[in-house]
Amino acid sequence: MSSKIKKGEVLLDIKGLKIQGFSDEKWHDIVNGVDISLRRGEVMGLIGESGAGKSTLGLAAMGYTQPGCRITDGEINFDGVDLAKLKEKEKRKYWGNRMTYVAQSAAASFNPAHRLIKQTTASTIRSGFKETNEAYKDAKDLYRTLNLPDPNNIGDRYPHQVSGGQLQRVMTAMAMSPRPDLIIFDEPTTALDVTTQVEVLSSMRAIVEEFNTAAIYITHDLAVVAQMADFIKVLRYGDEVEEAPTKEMLKNPKESYTKSLWSVRSLEKEIIPPQAPILEIKDLDAAYGSTKVLHKINISVPRGSTVAVVGESGSGKSTAARVITGLLPQISGKVVFEDADLPPKLEDRSKEQKRRIQMIYQMADTAMNPRQTVREIIGRPLEFYLGMAGSQKDSRVLELLQMIELDGRFLDRLPSELSGGQKQRICIARALAAEPDFVICDEVTSALDQIVQEGILKLLMRLQKDLNLTYLFITHDISTVRAISDQVVVMNLGEVVEQGAKVEVFNPPHPPYTELLLSSVPEMDPDWLTNLNSERA
């Protein structure tokens, strides 16, 4: 549709854009005067922690603001037209045609009642660029370019019949179908496993290059943006921190804030001498209904250490945690805790056994009752396990809050009045309140920004030292594993692939699955993806 115009012409030119959001009866600044200049065929990386205004800015590049937001100042020049001044009806002619959007959660963005191909081509057909047959044929070509399996027939499936990574690629095909001039990618791979992420990234990059499309790639993962973007803009609190071509930015970031984003991945843990195991899983089988998900796994967790369990979704790592906690009784095998067999069923375990094993969840949002205050959330285990009450309980809650680097001002807050990192800290405090020996951390940092992640990981390591805690750390993030673990267990399809000290697991030779997993972790090298693809080809 867009007439062939030579590469390099400025397509999107945003000047002094200011956006405000309405909350708590007041207008707050979200974006304060940001400039963007994007040429055809260029990919801009937009990074920053949550609350930096990057998603708002990404949507504003299309002239769109979410309900409760307004553009107060600035220009959004798209191909010579100021979108900030257009009426919604006129802007709609651009949306879905000349500019498209790929959302973070593909699963939540598709209509479950329509076939994929119909949704892929809907806007192309509606705006009359192509006839139905032609559009379908083109969609199949796009599926092929995006490396989807069975490109000719996959479009006939419904959204729930394909995997998350495939759905994310179908969404990219949908965005590509009208051959837009501009695509906004809003954290498109954040929810995916590393091995899937690599495939999605490669196909997105290929297709953007093929059609010379301009794109804005929003993410908080630096290593990912390094693979995708020509230049990177760092945002913080709605202000631009700095902008530079990708290679230059990676080599020598100028601002100290940018440097701090870079330094996150360099956490180190001192190696502690191995001790006797506090918990052992022996020949464990577990199943959901008739589907067996764990096959004779053996894991041993030494006291006072951190054992990281890595694997993709579906590898059985969370199921293992459910067996340890007693939520899912095993079929055979046993869990030995402190030299005694743990009863498989939760109801059969003593209060003391329950107290000594605590769990911290991935989504702090859903792990805390939204109607309880911090005081109630942390106070309940104290009351329940340790029989504390009144001022004794209150002072212990305060102590716990200080332990997690918060203070008394948080006592009467509800979870909704906390930030993501603070929520996770409260969950940690709740687990600590029971004075456990063994803590299961189920993807505790994967929903958080890099900087917040670092804070939480540091806190966990400090607490381990102070309180002699043992962690079973479930994660799919290899860089986290490198940072905090003593021992590593690699799981795939319900089996333990490899197990041992961190140094052993991370140094070759690897079993094939470990090799695949490790090589899929994005590195801070802009050529990493290109090299990897040529290696794997």
Partner 1 sequence: MKNDNDTYSALGEVGDFQQKRTRWARIRLDLAKSPLTARFGLLVILVYVFVALFAPFIAPYGEAEVFPIPYAPWSSEFLFGTDQIGRDIFSRLIYGARNTVGIAVATTALAFIIGGILGLAAAIARGWLDQLLSRTVDVLMAIPSLIFALVLLSIFGSTVTNLIIIIAVLDSTRVFRLTRAVSINVVVMDYVEAARLRGEGLVWIMRREILPNIMPPLIAEFGLRFCFVFLTIAALSFLGVGIQPPTADWGSMVRENASLIQFAQYDIKAGLTPLLPASAIALLTVAVNFVVDWFLHKTSGIRDEQ
Residue 262 sits in the site that holds partner 1 (CB under 8 A):
no
- In one-letter notation, the amino acid at residue 335 is V
Site string for partner 1, 292-331 (x = CB under 8 A): ---------------------------------xxx----
Residue 370 sits in the site that holds partner 1 (CB under 8 A):
yes
Q: Of 54-62, 128-136, 143-151, 365-373, which segment contacts partner 1 by CB under 8 A?
A: 365-373
Q: Which is nearer to partner 1, 41 or 326 (CB)?
A: 326
Q: Of 106-114, 141-149, 354-362, 495-503, which segment contacts partner 1 by CB under 8 A?
A: 354-362
Element (H, E) at 428: helix 420-433
Question: Do the Cβ atoms of 294 and 324 come closer than 8 Å?
Answer: no
Measured from the CB of residue 425, what is the shortest distance to partner 1 in angstroms?
A: 6
Q: Which is nearer to partner 1, 211 or 385 (CB)?
A: 385
Burial class (CB in 10 A: 0-12, 13-18, 19+), 376: middle
Q: Of 458, 379, 483, 374, give the one whose Cα is nearest residue 422.
A: 374
Residue 112 sits in the site that holds partner 1 (CB under 8 A):
no
Question: Do the Cβ atoms of 44 and 27 come closer than 8 Å?
Answer: no
| The token pair that represents 496 in the structure block | 């333990």
Measured from the CB of residue 475, what is the shortest distance to partner 1 in angstroms?
A: 17
Measured from the CB of residue 325, what is the shortest distance to partner 1 in angstroms?
A: 6
Under rule CB under 8 A, which residues in 422-481 are in contact with partner 1? 422, 425, 430, 434, 451-452, 454-455, 459
Peptide bond into 509 cis (omega under 30): yes
Reported in sequence order, the residue ranges of 112-195 that DSSP labels E, i.e. its strands, are 182-186
Element (H, E) at 74: strand 69-78
Under rule CB under 8 A, which residues in 199-238 are in contact with partner 1? 237
Residue 371 sits in the site that holds partner 1 (CB under 8 A):
yes
| The token pair that represents 482 in the structure block | 């490198």
Q: Of 9-17, 168-176, 369-377, 519-527, which segment contacts partner 1 by CB under 8 A?
A: 369-377
Which one among 207, 406, 505, 518 touches partner 1, defined by CB under 8 A?
Answer: 406
Residue 387 sits in the site that holds partner 1 (CB under 8 A):
no
Which one among 8, 16, 68, 511 touches partner 1, defined by CB under 8 A?
Answer: 68
Residue 263 sits in the site that holds partner 1 (CB under 8 A):
no
177/355 Cα distance (integer angstroms): 55
Measured from the CB of residue 83, what is the shortest distance to partner 1 in angstroms?
A: 18
318/52 Cα distance (integer angstroms): 32
Q: Measure the CA angle with vertex 115, ends 112 and 118; round to 5°.
A: 120
Distances in Å between the alpha carbon of 473 and those of 287, 442, 455?
A: 22, 6, 16
| The token pair that represents 259 in the structure block | 């440097």
Residue 421 sits in the site that holds partner 1 (CB under 8 A):
yes
Which one among 3, 4, 6, 24 touches partner 1, defined by CB under 8 A?
Answer: 24
β-bridge pairing 340-341 and 495-501: unpaired
Q: How many CB atoms lie within 10 A of CB 164?
A: 16
Under rule CB under 8 A, which residues in 28-47 are in contact with partner 1? 28
Q: Of 203-211, 267-275, 351-359, 465-473, which segment contacts partner 1 by CB under 8 A?
A: 351-359
Q: Of 62-70, 328-336, 337-345, 511-519, which segment contacts partner 1 by CB under 8 A?
A: 62-70
Q: Of 105-113, 225-233, 307-315, 358-366, which segment contacts partner 1 by CB under 8 A?
A: 358-366
Question: Do the Cβ atoms of 466 and 460 come closer than 8 Å?
Answer: no
The length of the chain in residues reads 537
Reported in sequence order, the residue ranges of 94-155 that DSSP labels E, i.e. its strands, are 99-102
Measured from the CB of residue 265, what is the shortest distance to partner 1 in angstroms?
A: 14
- Sheet containing strand 182-186, edge to edge, reads 99-102, 182-186, 214-219, 43-47, 231-236, 239-245
535/537 Cα distance (integer angstroms): 6
How many residues touch partner 1 (CB under 8 A)?
Answer: 56
Q: Of 95-103, 406-414, 473-481, 507-515, which segment contacts partner 1 by CB under 8 A?
A: 406-414
Residue 118 sits in the site that holds partner 1 (CB under 8 A):
no
Dihedral sign (CA 311, 317, 318, 319):
positive
Site string for partner 1, 476-515 (x = CB under 8 A): ----------------------------------------
> Among all chains, which residue has been given the structure tokens 């309980």?
393
Measured from the CB of residue 377, what is the shortest distance to partner 1 in angstroms?
A: 9
Q: Of 207-215, 282-290, 355-363, 468-476, which segment contacts partner 1 by CB under 8 A?
A: 355-363
Q: Of 96, 61, 95, give the one whose Cα is nearest residue 174.
A: 96
388/381 Cα distance (integer angstroms): 9
Site residues (vs partner 1, CB under 8 A): 23-25, 28, 50-51, 67-68, 70, 237, 256-257, 260, 325-327, 346, 349, 351, 354, 358-359, 361, 363, 366-372, 380-381, 384-385, 404-407, 412-413, 416-422, 425, 430, 434, 451-452, 454-455, 459
